[in-house]
Structure 1
């Protein structure tokens, strides 16, 4: 049984509030675990079945039917932090032999933060703290399951810890919130952004996108991703006005410009391939 998950608003900054609990944000992908009549199925937040990708999670059962909400994580043993690229490797694997190999190389953990149904009873109308109490009473079926920890009130202190450990951020949840299958201000995320200064080296001809580059060790510009978010109409107008005099060439998709225009972006992190992950334009550097 798929239940469309409750989604988060974005908070402007870390905060503390006694009406909220605060959880570390797990850098993975959302998972709905559904056990009905002893049969387990796993779903992404968009209702894509991913049961076969995670046999270490789908092959074990609880004593009673249950629906859980949480996150798939692949924890780096050296840092104790989930590695998003490893999670994506697991999610994208489709062939049985590759899945079996990755179970050993990149074991997945289902980090649970909510229980939506238990023993045939829909729990979504209960306050969050009652659902948390039920979740805490469960015996997890294997070491591939965990429960996300939380603290009450002290969101800023938890965010400082997340920053120090290089984690994705913090999630704030109102204690009395019921579970609704939509985005809600009762649940908020505070992202631990990383910032970088890049050069704009070109732009898409169709939908908006600025090519970003950074100098390598020898000083030569290397591609570092595409900036698709954050630029206002004023920013775009200023860029296209200046870039007309900097054009060096083009192909079917892009127009290329001299790397003269610098921009600051915020992002989740650098990928292992040296690319910006989810970059958002913040300002030009002049």
Structure 2
């Protein structure tokens, strides 16, 4: 008897030094910049993000072009006019129904086929089953491996400003809920030099600002990549340049600079997912 079920998705590791690589035992595919989603069409149709039951949220994905007994893994995205993923619009749609734009489900794996768990099969075989099972529509599409070099593919992805690629072992099993080295992501990071203009009193985060002409503009907070030694070594410097404070933050003058890597910019002018790299002396 089939059941309605949530399967914790297999997670990605970062490729070493965030560099693409070529190997006969792997292939690469585009990493769509959206929200992970499990489409479960068992006894009852369900949609699951990593943390929530999202079935009611996305009516455009109801009546999927797959038979009963099928569970798919993939990414939901809102596409812009150029056919590129708009993460900000996708994320806003998850948080609020106001002016939510329709999403497209980009399927890259199949976990159940005809009611049978196929996660133990090699990825290449699961890809074949995915092609046989899913009839593509405007709302449901298949993510296919590219033919050729992952290194060359990543260069093209960067040229077009896309998020990155995923390099997967062809014989990899689907490891439920595991962050596995069988799937490695390579992200198209941007880099920038920014000012540290404050720090949180409660969390290990810094306020960042960006120089535009003669003025310095706030661009949000940074939590990633800040080591304990970096925090401790800079605290005396931060104290000496303190310019004020609020309930949650201590503000400092725009003197200390650092280099960060980041995904892109939100329309509001906030930097998306900055990661500390090094101080600029």
Per-residue CA distance 1:63-115 (angstroms, 9 max, x = gap): 3321000000111113x210100101221124xxx4xx53xxx2210000000
1:223 Cα offset (Å): 1.0
Tell me how far apart the structure 2 counterparts of residues 85 and 2 of structure 1 sit (CA, whole Å): 26
In the other structure, the counterpart of 1:150 is: 145
Tell me how far apart the structure 2 counterparts of residues 62 and 190 of structure 1 sit (CA, whole Å): 31
Match of 1:165 among 147, 153, 160: 160
In the other structure, the counterpart of 1:20 is: 26
Match of 1:55 among 42, 55, 59: 59
Tell me how far apart the structure 1 counterparts of residues 67 and 133 of structure 2 sit (CA, whole Å): 10
1:202 equivalenced with 2:198 (yes/no): yes
1:68 equivalenced with 2:68 (yes/no): no
Count of paired positions? 274
1:43-122 alignment runs, 5 A limit: 43-46=48-51, 48-78=52-82, 80-94=83-97, 98=98, 102=100, 106-122=101-117
Note the residue ranges of structure 1 that are not aligned, 5 or more in a row. none
For the 8 Å contact 1:35–1:61, the answer to whether it is kept is no
Runs of 4+ in 1 over 4 A off after TM superposition: none
1:238 Cα offset (Å): 2.6
For the 8 Å contact 1:194–1:267, the answer to whether it is kept is yes
In the other structure, the counterpart of 1:262 is: 257
The 3-state SS of whatever aligns with 1:115 is: strand
1:234 Cα offset (Å): 2.8
Tell me how far apart the structure 1 counterparts of residues 34 and 135 of structure 2 sit (CA, whole Å): 20
Tell me how far apart the structure 2 counterparts of residues 2 and 177 of structure 1 sit (CA, whole Å): 21
Tell me how far apart the structure 1 counterparts of residues 249 and 27 of structure 2 sit (CA, whole Å): 46
For the 8 Å contact 1:111–1:148, the answer to whether it is kept is yes
1:141 Cα offset (Å): 6.0
Match of 2:118 among 96, 108, 123: 123
1:61 Cα offset (Å): 4.7
1:184 equivalenced with 2:180 (yes/no): yes
1:277 equivalenced with 2:280 (yes/no): no
Tell me how far apart the structure 2 counterparts of residues 33 and 147 of structure 1 sit (CA, whole Å): 13
Note the residue ranges of structure 2 that are not aligned, 5 or more in a row. none
Tell me how far apart the structure 2 counterparts of residues 168 and 126 of structure 1 sit (CA, whole Å): 28
TM-score, normalised via structure 2 length: 0.93
